[in-house]
Chains A and B, each alone.
Chain A
């Protein structure tokens, strides 16, 4: 048991205050070391690591081979120079990395902490803290090691911690010490504490700890509730003492930060495969040449021995052939250039820097630039097919704002005149000193109505101020801080506060408010808590006047049913309003009240108490009791809360889906919320043919629902296609039967497919538009799984969406259901998974990775997204909101979702393009270079004589040809960034992997081999007879070498010139510089000076001069170049002329535009019209679907918490999802209730965490969306930006949208609305001003302009992208730039 380390601990024993005892076990100290090397170990360790790379070892092996004189066909330095270069570049990089790690280690290790030593608290460095020490922590300090909480300044040994660094949750958590130790208040007692802890060995489970404390012959069980983990921050607690259990590397934080999974890109994998192939090829060449050598040595060499005897150990031709094989392996090894990997790294590094430097991905509000945290994945960004997005904090800001309301049939909060420059934010302060200045509302009428004293309005806000479970904290007079469990509740209470109904404080039995300046205390009689089934909550209060009233707020669907019949008229008006709100993607709640007489209350109270006390079916009984009283209510109105999307989310999603990227939203949130967000960010639209909702609870029902969805899809798409493919149905049937699903196997009937918008199916002819059609185009390739159903589903036309619940997803992810789920989901345009656990998020990603062979990208901001970020090919973290866990796990991070479009469509696309071009060229140039040796082998007796000078071989890859191709790999652009955002279809080649695949590779190789043939045989044919003008023959080896080498350098330079599409100064310098350096170096190496110093090393003295002075040599070079390049040129021209890629066309158009700079009046829309599918016939076909916008991000149980009063003491952490050791009944019920939900604490708390505070811009989603769609088909393609120099996009934006040029920066928040609206007006299609208010307007504009969407897309994206995507900050930033 007391084995010494390294054998893993089986159990850990720690005795407090006894260093000697603890030292026996040699536990790790608290000193952390993330660095890998120190000064002494750096070289050996780093070299050892580097030689673990196969490529490096291979070259080392070659180097050793070269030392054998019989084999050595090259001098040793031809390999060692590049190898040393590669190794040293890597070493420098590693050293720099390690230096920074040293620095940060030191910083952390030297932090001060207070350690209890011999009864007194002393300051110690973190690294000197030992296991078994007792340390003191103060408020807001980082916990230095994993501690067992002994005592704290708070009652009951409680203390509060924030675990953002550990799991990303920003809410506070409570920890409590074991009851016996919490009495050890002061240091003296603690110093004499000698308890011994026996616990599990170090592990990485953050939420689990089990151990036992032995003290004074008693055993106490320890759990995670008693632990403070390193990385946490102590909050709201003056001080606490803890016993160090795990230190340094043993802490859970460090145990969790193992080596990150190394992600490789598909290009990497392809590259590795190809390199292996090349090795195979190399071996083949070697064998061919060795056989040649054997034959030659037998037939010729043996006879030639009088002039050239075999080297001593060689006594027969077979042995000679064997050696010759290795010699050829050495000289042909340049087909796998050592510089390949290092060049790839350099290029990726360059691309990463460009990402980091991109101003358009800089968020000025949070002062964060985008960051490429890994440099190895860039080109994969250009191949993404699936995006998995978190919702809260990623798509949304997790800020709820009270946006609109309907009171007594009157709707408020609409901005009536969309063309009004900037709506004025209401100023509440003169009217209400308690108002929150951050609150934004724009409709003056409502304030007027409050001031006038409208009874309904007052009652409305009174309800909002009373009916909730918010806790308040009033630090000083008037400085109210609300702690709301869900942000939308907070928003409502805040709204009431601003309109004069200020919630001040509560006790278990009272609620104190300030109503219009008058303090009123209501006694709280009951809270009828919210739950998922009830979808509403109520409070019953007694006003100071003694009137008892029930206030209820809840989902319109449930609430409207429970109204008093006299509300009929008001109800219909209000439901119209609710419909509008819902269509805008707002979260709605209906509000109602009911007056209760004393008797009624007494009677109900009795029944409630009875129900409450019931032991069995307590919940059902309670629900029944609640139901009983929540009847005959009077409708007050409705609220609409905007779950604020991040800036530019709908546009980004639109652009990404145009780029044929499928976006799946995976959220822990509820279905309603998720669907709502789906609508507001335009993933779901009312025009969708069908939105399937899968929410079955059993395998059978899920299977059933999925199948039904597929059948429906096929059916619908057939009606759309007008029965064109008649055989399809049969096929479909057969497939499904074949799949083994019996017809008519009814599940348990929870199927709720077709929950929404069956009507939309009627409009079958339209729909899709460009998006669906465009998607359909790529589907064949995208879904290569050969299983019949998916094949069939590939041909689906029309737009479908799938919403699947967490518990259904659990079934759908089972092995036998996977394919079925996948084929359904992949046929849908949008997929939303709600109520998913972090693990499920990862599973979904893995599923796609496994079956689709598509590149996946996961984007999220919270700790619950870490698993999916890690398992996706590319993980993107949204920085700056919910802790940094997601960012730490991610490969890229930035602060706004909208930057994703730039990351993918611009940087990803370029990276992919550049990398592909780079690789193509790289393989080409090395084959062209190396294969010449192969041909020469046939003429030199297969003796592994090289064609070129050894220096040329050494320098070819690292000097003569490296820089131009690097410059191309780093700087090349086929189309400028605005264009690739304008034409998202440009992204497609990456997804289909068209630019570099095995086929392209073979083309490159073939071209390289062709070039090598030309490069060898043209000089061969010319020089074998040629002589200098002095009569000296040119056929000597050195002349031949110089001629071939020069031709090679010129040919590959011309080739890179052809390949480079973007000639910056740097490219020019590198291309010309490389050519120049070739000649310079060659003349230098062939100079007499060098020869005189080392006659044995520079055999080529004078060759350059006497060769290059010969016109014949130049004629040969020109001839070889022409023969190499002309076919390539012809081929490329033909390809461009006959089958131009979109990028070619865009590029060409750009050129023409630059030349002519005059409008041509054509529409870009045409580009997509062909693939855009049918788009007519949707006019005015607003689906009649009545969506409930209800979304209450609540968990039940908090009403009980409040009335029990338990949380009052814990004031500030009332809402943390803690389960403390209290065993009172409410906690139990709470737990039980929680258990009934499949909802993990992580995800819940993620969504409920306090809203980030920095976002100030307000973008009503609909105005944005109308700007997406408000384009005109006739929009001229030039769109000004083109002619304008690229940096001047702001002017272009202004002129195209006719927005008043000077947007007051102060009005930042409102600017987007204005410009968006102005743009729709400016582009003059939709004459109806869509203020983003009417759903009808939305549909109408969608219908009319559907087609133009694609034509017009350009403008939107340009406005949003060219000047930093997303309007609001844009205007400001750009204008600052200029």
Chain B
């Protein structure tokens, strides 16, 4: 703080002026509502008259919403199958055992399953991973958004955030970083086993599975999207774990290179170690026929992605969708619970208020 001595004080500036000092400028503070702290104000109080109704209202709003959500969620059909191949009995057991990143021969396994209900409308196919820490700090930051956005300089010289997946054999990796390097590369195919024995492959849409902004803004191939990607990516190398370079991810030029949607989906890291990612969309055929009628199906997996080393799990999920998204029983239950608790609290508080409460009905300040 300042020294207490202020040279100005030496003047004896406190003028003890009598009432006669008329010429003196009045130091009287301004009489404004702000300065006098008299601003008009709303002064809410938690009275029984406001709080109790609030509880009831919250209850009355939350319970129906909860019921609605619960019913909606229950109407959503979801099917999940774990194909990690942990058990000996699992068809994928062999594939999971004999895994090597460098094996050239893909290992395929076939898993039959049965849908007891028909799946109407669009059906969404997910892959799920467990115990996979996509949200690890070092993992999350191990990417170069400049490179993914098509910046030519970053393509040749990836950010050091990508270490140790920035360069391989002195060639820049495209796409660099641990996220890209660990991209999920199983191939899942779905077949409907017609009751008459035929195996019908179900068409899977591989576009429309990523965020619009990701596809159109965040991810861009260098030098535009339509050129010869092979040339564009000349001088870079594929990520260590990848089997194919990035420009061979898909045949469709709109879905190749950095804007390959499988890649984009993978690059959108999950918040939690157990997550699912949208893999394919099964478009509905018509409003009359269910997209996936009930019956026997076969899932064919090209087993490329090893998870057993870190006790991870792989799943395939089929789900329908409502206005509020996929199956989500928690939300409905939570709403119903909170609503009931509020209602119940309202009742309890009402009782307490009536029995013991300081009924401030009179303006009496007494206690």
Contact = CB atoms under 8 A, between A and B. Distances in A.
Contact of A357 (B29, B181, B182): B29
A1126 B58 contact: yes
A772 B140 CA distance: 68
B286 to A, nearest CB: 19
Interface string B113-152: 0000000001010100001111111111010111011010
A881 interface: yes
Interface stretch (B46-54, B83-91, B221-229): B46-54
Interface stretch (B189-197, B242-250, B292-300, B354-362): B354-362
A745 interface: no
Interface in B98-117: none
B291 to A, nearest CB: 13
B14 A887 contact: yes
A327 B324 contact: no
A279 interface: no
A308 B139 contact: yes
B4 interface: yes
Interface stretch (A361-369, A749-757, A811-819, A1232-1240): A361-369
Contact of B43 (A1063, A1160, A1256): A1063
B326 A1123 contact: no
B31 to A, nearest CB: 6
Contacts of B47: 1136, 1148, 1151
Interface in B50-89: 51, 54-55, 58, 62, 65, 69
A34 interface: yes
Interface stretch (B166-174, B230-238, B273-281): B273-281
Interface stretch (A692-700, A724-732, A1037-1045): A1037-1045
Contact of B330 (A257, A303, A1021, A1162): A1021
B151 A1137 contact: no
A1164 B338 CA distance: 42
B30 interface: yes
B12 A1091 contact: no
B287 interface: no
A357 B30 contact: yes
A1026 B326 contact: yes
A359 B29 contact: yes
Interface in B1-32: 1-12, 14-19, 21, 24, 26-31
Given A260-B1, A1025-B326, A1064-B40, A1151 B45 contact: yes
B36 A358 contact: yes
Contacts of A308: 133, 136, 138-139, 142, 178, 182
Nearest to A907: B37
Contacts of B345: 1126, 1130
B334 A1119 contact: yes
B133 to A, nearest CB: 5
Contact of B281 (A1031, A1065, A1142): A1031
Interface stretch (A15-23, A101-109, A496-504): A101-109
Nearest to A368: B27
Given A1062-B41, A1096-B144, A101 B2 contact: yes
B176 interface: no
Contacts of B311: 300, 303
A1162 B217 contact: no
Interface stretch (A152-160, A332-340, A840-848, A1106-1114): A1106-1114
Contacts of B24: 367
B29 A358 contact: yes
B366 A1095 contact: no
B353 interface: yes
B207 to A, nearest CB: 12
B135 A940 contact: yes
B363 A1149 contact: yes
A200 B42 CA distance: 66
Nearest to B217: A1088
Nearest to A1088: B217
B359 to A, nearest CB: 9
A1123 B159 contact: no
Interface in B324-367: 324-328, 330-331, 334-335, 338, 341-342, 345, 349, 352-353, 356-358, 360, 362-367
Nearest to A105: B7
Nearest to B62: A1122
A1032 B122 CA distance: 13
Contacts of B321: 1027, 1029-1031
B325 A1101 contact: no
B198 interface: no
Given A359-B31, A1096-B146, A1035 B270 contact: yes
Interface string B157-188: 00100011000000000000010011000000
Interface stretch (A219-227, A538-546, A941-949): A941-949
A927 to B, nearest CB: 22
Interface in A320-376: 327, 354, 356-359, 362, 364-369, 374, 376
A648 to B, nearest CB: 19
**What class of interface size applies to chain B in its complex with A?**
35 or more
Contact of A1162 (B37, B139, B145, B363): B363
A1137 B144 contact: no
A254 B11 CA distance: 14
Contacts of B43: 973, 1061-1063, 1147, 1150-1151
Contacts of B327: 1025
Contacts of A1027: 124, 278, 319, 321, 325-326
Nearest to A1123: B338
Nearest to A103: B8
B44 to A, nearest CB: 7
Given A1096-B144, A1106-B211, A1140 B358 contact: yes
A884 interface: yes
B10 A1167 contact: no
Given A1062-B43, A1149-B363, A257 B4 contact: yes
B284 interface: no
Contacts of B349: 1130, 1133-1134, 1137
Most buried by B among A879, A1136, A1167: A1136
B5 A253 contact: yes
Nearest to B143: A1099
A48 interface: no
B46 A1132 contact: yes
Given A73-B137, A308-B133, A367 B17 contact: yes
A143 to B, nearest CB: 10
A1038 B213 CA distance: 13
B12 A233 contact: yes
B41 A307 contact: no
Contacts of B42: 1063
B306 interface: yes
A1067 B1 CA distance: 31
Interface in B203-224: 208-214, 217-218
A355 B79 CA distance: 69
A727 to B, nearest CB: 30
A1224 interface: no
Nearest to A906: B37
A1167 B366 contact: yes
Interface of B: 1-12, 14-19, 21, 24, 26-31, 35-48, 51, 54-55, 58, 62, 65, 69, 122, 124, 126, 131-140, 142, 144-146, 148-149, 151, 159, 163-164, 178, 181-182, 208-214, 217-218, 268-278, 281, 306, 309-311, 319, 321-328, 330-331, 334-335, 338, 341-342, 345, 349, 352-353, 356-358, 360, 362-367
Given A1061-B43, A1101-B213, A1286-B38, 4 more contacts: A308-B142, A888-B9, A1026-B326, A1031-B209
16 contacts: A34-B6, A258-B3, A259-B1, A260-B3, A364-B28, A939-B272, A939-B273, A940-B137, A943-B135, A971-B39, A1021-B330, A1119-B334, A1129-B51, A1138-B352, A1166-B366, A1254-B18
Nearest 6 A/B pairs, CB to CB:
A1102-B213, A257-B5, A1040-B271, A943-B137, A1027-B326, A357-B35
